A and B are shown apart, each in its own frame.
Chain A
Amino acid sequence: MIRFLLRTSVLMLLAGAASGCTDFIEPNQLAFVMGTAVDHADDGEIEVSHQIVIPTQKSGPFGGSGDSDSFVVMSAKGKNVFEAIHKVQKKMTRRLMPSHRQLIAISEQYFQKDDVSTLFDKLNRDPANNLRDITVLVKGDLAKNFLLLDHPMEHLSSIATGKEMEINGMNRFSTRQFIIDSLSEGTRPLVPVLQIEQVKVRSKETGPIAALSGFAALNKKLKIAGFLNDAEGAGAVWMSGKGTFHAITLPWKNGKDTLSFRLTHLRRRIDSADDHDPQRIVLTVMAQAYLLENTTSLDLSETHYMLEVQKYMNDKIREDLQLTMDKVQEWGSDVFGIGEYLHRSSPYWWKSQKDDWDHKFKALDVTVRSNVQLRSVGASGTSFN
């Protein structure tokens, strides 16, 4: 029996080899898609653009040459994502390979005029996608224009943005997270917002660079509820439990001097108020703070100053975050996942509330508390002045 099986399998293998029956694709038959942009087009169509690496350069797309031709952007319009991608494929000599995509950029216009959730059937449910890419919103311009940009360091704007997000501790904004947030009833997605700015990168050269300029809070229908600027956005990220580290600069009481801290081990906790009333929520943010810059005359090696600074810092953080919280609450977009918490802590109450959560979230009484430990005041001691 074993002998028979062995012979059969060997024969089958040989038959496969003899007939050239393999399905490998050489890397030089592939077009690596590093970024995809989705834009609104007229007549109910969408425009999909792919940023594709050109691997022919001898030095490689990530090193050296400095030329801007390390990628191409191919785009096409279609009634749905597949049709558009298929049209792109028709113009290509190589098979599109979306598994290495770093980023999906969707324009603000598309968010406003079309239904974003229809994109994800092809863009993300398709097993050829890895879902580790980031979904971003491009504000004030076409997403395609973002892909067309050059980056002085990384050549490819999609790679640049991906690295920018990662290096700044915001690695929980993958498309996967976006889909989870958009499908769950008690959380709304928080999408990073990119804006194209003119930056002087060299003495003679001013070029457009896409920079992270805050976050967009979406509502249940994935429409933009409102934009948060950079500082508010960072606070919202912290409160939604998606941040890892953060830096803040606070004016000291005299209004002139400043203190800068690096916050690590960012965490948050959601509790109902003491009487377990689901309408009254306490959101506590926690972190460890490290003093990095101190222009005040306080000598923080003295314990009482240190405690004073810690208390002051917590007060300030609480104030700022409460403002952000109130702002977001006004929009009715629960990006913090408070609904998810209530779903778990008061399931029966939640059942009656979950329809039209966006509206009910507005009426919720959310208090922000801050519990930041000042762990280190650095070795600088008292300042010189």
Chain B
Amino acid sequence: MGAVSQSAEINEAYLRAQFQRCSDFVLRSFTLRDETRLMLVYLDGMIRSESVEDNFLKPLLFDGLPQGIDRISSLVEMFRREWLPLTSIKTEDSLDGLVTCVLQGCLGILVDGEASALVAQVQGYEKRGIEEPQKESTLRGSKEGFVEHLRTNTSLIRRRIVHPQLKMESYTVGKYTQTEVVLSYMQGIADEQVLSVVRDKLDKIDTDGVIDSAYIEEWLENNSFSIFPQVQNTERPDVVVASLLEGKVALIANGTPSVLILPITLWSGLQSADDYFERFVFVLLIRTIRYIMTFISFALPAIYVALSTFHPEMIPSYLMISIATARESSPFPTVVEVFLMMFIFDGLQEAGVHLPNQLGPVVSIIGALVIGQAAVEAGIISTPIIIVISLTGVATYTIPRYSATLPFRLIRYLLLFVTGMLGFVGFAFGIIFLLIHLVMLESFGTPYLSPVAPFDGKRIKDILIRYPFALKSGRNKKGMGR
């Protein structure tokens, strides 16, 4: 169906047909004092009704069309003269466009005898307030987190970068969800090449719906089979702002509080916003600990197995005898034992995520008492393995971003497998394969391990040390790109 008809009946029939069996659809027609017939269409719950009543209905119903210097014959003209006290209003000539606007929560106004409709942006649906981000909390720094509402999110960024070079390009993705996605970047700082790649990929997304920004993430990635994420997600506006200023690009999708940042490197997953808020000497310590813990998080179980069952001569004598004493009554081989514990640990973790809040303590008790204590006392699992697995588990969560922990949790199993068969030879094999994969991986043209490989002496400073801001040498104009 094409343009808005002059006849109110035809328009009404079309709209009613489109919104058949939609209980939330409201079509209300009434007549003004001067016999003008108006028709309001909207979806119940999506508009701010007070605003419509105060700014639109009351003036029109009580005063009729304003009769000022000369007689106004149409609502469109009234709109053109800006006499309607609404901030965002436009005309819409096609009925399909009108339907889309109504679906997005606009108020559609049709007048009998006029071949165009007015669309007023009076969206007013319930939304969550701005809260502290749960996944990435910091000790210092902003407590604001993104919410599900797109414009709230863009405003959170805009409020922090008060500069017209901050661009927000809008795209619509998803056949049914019609999700608005905003591509945000700093013009002049962001890499044009990355931008054009992202624009291209956004246009090519062919999907029924975007439930979360994760759906977009998968479409953007070059290497879908890698275990490493090539796009970062965050709920923190300050992280997005910092990334934008570094020349990265952000994607904000409607309906999800996680904003995508790209391109990323392995290191950006290991850096926390707090690193930039605390004194740099302390950050040096914290980052060193974090990197060591990251290594522990994927390598410790394998190293333990390799040392204790393949190369016991490498462990200091007294420690080895302590381990041997603890393992004296264990019925399983060390590899199997470690695998069992890792399996149980991940199982507990998965259960913890899905548990209703009230049941949380139950899993803790079962996990700590039954598996931790009882298994050791029964002699099924040996104590050093409990220590190794719990240390590994704790180490995983020194990585500040949840999605960055996932590849390491996976590598842990793979390394354990090869090490369980070949000892340190297998461990070396595993690490070499991992490194080969990492140096080959790219995130939108940025090598995943840069600036370590390929080596960039200037930018490598930020990997471990985080120099004081005053000493940092200039902004890196090309962003994280090569």
Q: A55 touching B325 by the CB < 8 A rule?
A: yes
Interface size on B, residues (CB 8 A): 28
Q: B325 touching A61 by the CB < 8 A rule?
A: yes
Q: B309 touching A13 by the CB < 8 A rule?
A: no
B20 within 8 A of A: no
CB distance from A34 to the nearest CB of B (A): 8
Q: A27 touching B308 by the CB < 8 A rule?
A: yes
Q: Known: A99-B312, A99-B313. Is A28-B318 also a contact (CB below 8 A)?
A: no
B421 within 8 A of A: yes
Among all A-B residue pairs, the 6 with the closest Cβ atoms: A99-B313, A24-B309, A27-B324, A55-B325, A100-B317, A55-B324
19 A-B pairs with CB atoms under 8 Å apart are A16-B421, A16-B422, A22-B420, A22-B421, A22-B422, A24-B309, A26-B334, A27-B323, A28-B327, A30-B324, A32-B317, A53-B324, A55-B324, A55-B325, A56-B328, A60-B325, A61-B321, A100-B317, A128-B313
Q: Which size bracket describes the interface of A in this complex?
A: 20 to 34
In Å, the complex CA distance between A283 and B2 comes to 111
In Å, the complex CA distance between A345 and B134 comes to 74
B418 within 8 A of A: yes
Q: B417 touching A17 by the CB < 8 A rule?
A: yes
- Complex interface: chain A residues within 8 A of B323 (CB): 27
Q: A130 touching B325 by the CB < 8 A rule?
A: no
Tell me the B362-420 residues at the A interface (CB within 8 Å). 417-418, 420
B193 within 8 A of A: no
Q: Which residue of chain A is the closest to B337 with respect to CB atoms?
A: A26
B14 within 8 A of A: no
- Complex interface: chain A residues within 8 A of B321 (CB): 32, 53, 55, 60-62, 100
Q: Which residue of chain B is the closest to A98 with respect to CB atoms?
A: B313
- Complex interface: chain B residues within 8 A of A21 (CB): 421
Interface residues of A (CB under 8 A from B): 9, 13, 16-17, 21-28, 30, 32, 34, 53, 55-57, 60-62, 97, 99-100, 102, 128, 130
In Å, the complex CA distance between A385 and B284 comes to 57
Q: Known: A13-B421, A22-B420, A24-B420. Is A100-B310 also a contact (CB below 8 A)?
A: no
Q: Known: A13-B417, A56-B325, A130-B313. Is A100-B335 also a contact (CB below 8 A)?
A: no
Main secondary structure of the interface of B (DSSP, over half): helix
B423 within 8 A of A: yes
In Å, the complex CA distance between A102 and B422 comes to 28
Q: A30 touching B330 by the CB < 8 A rule?
A: no
- Complex interface: chain A residues within 8 A of B333 (CB): 24, 26
Q: Which residue of chain A is the closest to B334 with respect to CB atoms?
A: A26
- Complex interface: chain B residues within 8 A of A62 (CB): 318, 321-322
- Complex interface: chain A residues within 8 A of B465 (CB): none
Q: B310 touching A24 by the CB < 8 A rule?
A: yes
- Complex interface: chain B residues within 8 A of A57 (CB): 325
- Complex interface: chain B residues within 8 A of A53 (CB): 321, 324
In Å, the complex CA distance between A131 and B325 comes to 24
Q: Given A28-B327, A99-B312, A99-B313, 13 other A-B contacts at CB below 8 A?
A: A13-B421, A22-B421, A22-B422, A24-B305, A24-B309, A24-B333, A24-B335, A25-B312, A27-B327, A28-B328, A62-B318, A97-B312, A100-B320
Q: A28 touching B330 by the CB < 8 A rule?
A: yes
Q: Which residue of chain B is the closest to A127 with respect to CB atoms?
A: B313
Which of A25, A27, A60 has the largest number of chain B CB atoms within 10 A?
A27
CB distance from A138 to the nearest CB of B (A): 21
In Å, the complex CA distance between A32 and B323 comes to 12
Q: A24 touching B423 by the CB < 8 A rule?
A: yes
Q: A26 touching B327 by the CB < 8 A rule?
A: yes
- Complex interface: chain B residues within 8 A of A34 (CB): 317
In Å, the complex CA distance between A218 and B152 comes to 87
Q: Which residue of chain A is the closest to B308 with respect to CB atoms?
A: A27
Q: B313 touching A60 by the CB < 8 A rule?
A: no
Q: Which residue of chain B is the closest to A58 with respect to CB atoms?
A: B325
CB distance from A96 to the nearest CB of B (A): 12
- Complex interface: chain A residues within 8 A of B420 (CB): 22, 24
Q: B325 touching A26 by the CB < 8 A rule?
A: no
In Å, the complex CA distance between A348 and B309 comes to 53
Q: Which residue of chain B is the closest to A24 with respect to CB atoms?
A: B309
Q: Which residue of chain B is the closest to A31 with respect to CB atoms?
A: B324
CB distance from B321 to the nearest CB of A (A): 6
- Complex interface: chain A residues within 8 A of B320 (CB): 27, 32, 100
Q: Which residue of chain B is the closest to A156 with respect to CB atoms?
A: B321
Q: B322 touching A24 by the CB < 8 A rule?
A: no
In Å, the complex CA distance between A32 and B429 comes to 30
CB distance from B61 to the nearest CB of A (A): 73
In Å, the complex CA distance between A128 and B318 comes to 18
In Å, the complex CA distance between A22 and B327 comes to 20
Q: Which residue of chain A is the closest to B332 with respect to CB atoms?
A: A26
- Complex interface: chain A residues within 8 A of B418 (CB): 13
In Å, the complex CA distance between A99 and B305 comes to 18
In Å, the complex CA distance between A62 and B327 comes to 16
In Å, the complex CA distance between A135 and B323 comes to 27
- Complex interface: chain B residues within 8 A of A99 (CB): 312-313
In Å, the complex CA distance between A222 and B321 comes to 34
Which of B305, B318, B321, B423 has the largest number of chain A CB atoms within 10 A?
B321
In Å, the complex CA distance between A130 and B423 comes to 20
- Complex interface: chain A residues within 8 A of B322 (CB): 60, 62
CB distance from A63 to the nearest CB of B (A): 9
Q: Which residue of chain B is the closest to A13 with respect to CB atoms?
A: B418
Q: Known: A16-B421, A53-B321, A56-B328. Is A24-B334 also a contact (CB below 8 A)?
A: yes
Q: A100 touching B334 by the CB < 8 A rule?
A: no
> Among A27, A56, A102, which residue has its beta carbon within 8 angstroms of that of B312?
A27
- Complex interface: chain B residues within 8 A of A25 (CB): 309-310, 312
CB distance from B227 to the nearest CB of A (A): 14
In Å, the complex CA distance between A268 and B56 comes to 103
- Complex interface: chain A residues within 8 A of B317 (CB): 32, 34, 100, 102
In Å, the complex CA distance between A34 and B320 comes to 12
Which of A9, A30, A34, A99 has the largest number of chain B CB atoms within 10 A?
A99
Tell me the B314-362 residues at the A interface (CB within 8 Å). 317-318, 320-325, 327-330, 333-335
Which of B305, B320, B333 has the largest number of chain A CB atoms within 10 A?
B320
CB distance from B424 to the nearest CB of A (A): 11
Q: Which residue of chain B is the closest to A102 with respect to CB atoms?
A: B317
CB distance from A161 to the nearest CB of B (A): 14
Tell me the B123-154 residues at the A interface (CB within 8 Å). none
Q: Which residue of chain B is the closest to A20 with respect to CB atoms?
A: B421
